[in-house]
Amino acid sequence: MTGIKINPKFSFTAFLLLTSLLLMLVSYKNPAFFLAIKKRGYFLGNSLYSFSFASKKTLSDFIESAIQAKKIKEENKLLKEEIEKFIFNQKNYYREIEIENQRLKKLLDFKKKEPYDLLTAEVVGYPPQNFFKTIYINKGKIDGVKKNMAVVSSEGLVGKVVEVYPKGAKVMLIIDRRSKVGVRIQRTRDIGILEGTGNPESCTLKYILTKANIKMNDYVVTSGLGEVFPEGIVVGYVSSVKKKPNYIFQEVKVKPAVNFGRLEEVFLIIRKK
């Protein structure tokens, strides 16, 4: 025997009708009870809504805080990188600029004090086979440079031009063995010839008479005799004096005033005013 098949939609509709009828009867018989249920329903709804709103706000604040924290972390990283760059520049690049400014100021002060017309040039090279004996500069024929021009720095005499090119020149330093410079002892006014030894720390001062009262640390300057080096340029100071019995001349060594290992800028003397 086949059972009776009940339609689910019909059952649900009937359930709703019966429930509505029951609620209407309860409301009619006991209005206070129905009102209490209604109030509780509103309270439950409000509670659920308040909880949902609070949860949503808390979640939103959490997400916003997380985004803000990430942003701050990225900004901190960038700031740290900038600080590290600044520290690097402070220790390296800015220090080099400061040293260069001091050196250039010294050169400028020297140029203002000297009674000569000076042409500034940069040292651009040392011949590898002749290190510390000749240098190349970046001024040449088109700048008015000529052979045998005297070359100086803020420290003293450097040498003279021996070769001239269109945009550069070769300078023989006073420490070169071929170099000969007329000089005098500044204190005693004794005259001699300064010759290079190939050693950047020492030159030989020749033809100083034995009777001359030469002392250690006496300043040596150019004598001005000849047409190459003007008078009074600092060359160096006496580093060794040796007198020999029955010899006409003393053995005198001079330490150059210029540090040839750190030359960067030099001046060419154009003419004396």
What DSSP string describes the chain?
-PPPPPPHHHHHHHHHHHHHHHHHHHHHH-HHHHHHHHHHHHHHHHHHHHHHHHHHHHHHHHHHHHHHHHHHHHHHHHHHHHHHHHHHHHHTHHHHHHHHHHHHHHHHHHHHHSSEEEEEEEEEE--GGGTTTEEEES--GGGT--TT-EEE-SSSEEEEEEEEETTEEEEEETTSTT-EEEEEETTT--EEEEEEEEETTEEEEE--BTTS---TT-EEEE---SSSS-TT-EEEEEEEEE--TT-SB-EEEEEESS-GGG--EEEEEEEE-
Q: What interhelical angle do 31-91 and 8-29 show, nearest 10?
A: 110
Q: Does the residue 160 lie in any domain? A: yes
Q: Does the residue 57 lie in any domain? A: no
Q: Does the residue 165 lie in any domain? A: yes
In terms of pTM, does the model score above 0.75? Answer: no
Place of tokens 């140029």: 111
The domain tally of the chain equals: 1
Residue 138's CATH number = 2.40.10.340
Q: Does the residue 238 lie in any domain? A: yes
* Domain around 126: 102-272
Q: Does the residue 62 lie in any domain? A: no
pLDDT score of 1: 46
Q: Does the residue 76 lie in any domain? A: no
pLDDT score of 159: 95
Q: Tell me how far apart the alpha carbons of residues 146 and 156 are, in angstroms, rounded to a whole number.
A: 20
Question: Which residues of the chain, if any, have pLDDT below 70?
Answer: 1-57, 59, 81, 84-101, 103-116, 128-132, 271-273
- Copy the structure tokens of residue 48: 């659920």
- Copy the structure tokens of residue 3: 């059972």
pLDDT score of 149: 93
Phi, psi values for residue 212, rounded to 5°? -70, 140
Q: Does the residue 257 lie in any domain? A: yes
Q: Does the residue 18 lie in any domain? A: no
